[in-house]
Amino acid sequence: MIDKIRIHLADDHQVLIDGMRTLLNTVSNFEVIGFSLDGSTLYDEVTNNQANILILDISMPKKDGIEVIKEFAKKGYPCKVIILSSYDDLKIIKEVMKLGASGYLTKQCAGENIVEAIQAVANGEEYFCKSVREKIFNSATKDNSKLNKENATIDSILTGREVEIITLIALEHSGKEISEKLFISTNTVETHRKNIMKKLKAKNTISLVKFAIKNKLIKS
> Over the stretch 189-203, which tens digit does the pLDDT of each residue have?
889 999 998 888 888
Q: Tell me what pLDDT residue 220 has.
A: 60
Low-confidence spans in the chain with pLDDT less than 70: 1-2, 137-153, 155-156, 219-220
Query: What is the H or E stretch that residue 103 is in?
Result: strand 103-106
DSSP labels, 42-92? HHHHHHHHT-SEEEE-SS-SSS-HHHHHHHHHHH--SSEEEEEES---HHH
Q: What is the pLDDT of residue 6?
A: 94
> What pLDDT, on the 0 to 100 scale, is given for residue 131?
82
Return the pLDDT at 29: 92
Q: What is the pLDDT of residue 114?
A: 93
Q: What is the pLDDT at residue 17?
A: 92
Exposure pattern of 141-162 as b/e (b: 16+ CB <10 Å)?
eeeeeebbeeeeebeebbeeeb
Q: What is the pLDDT of residue 81?
A: 93
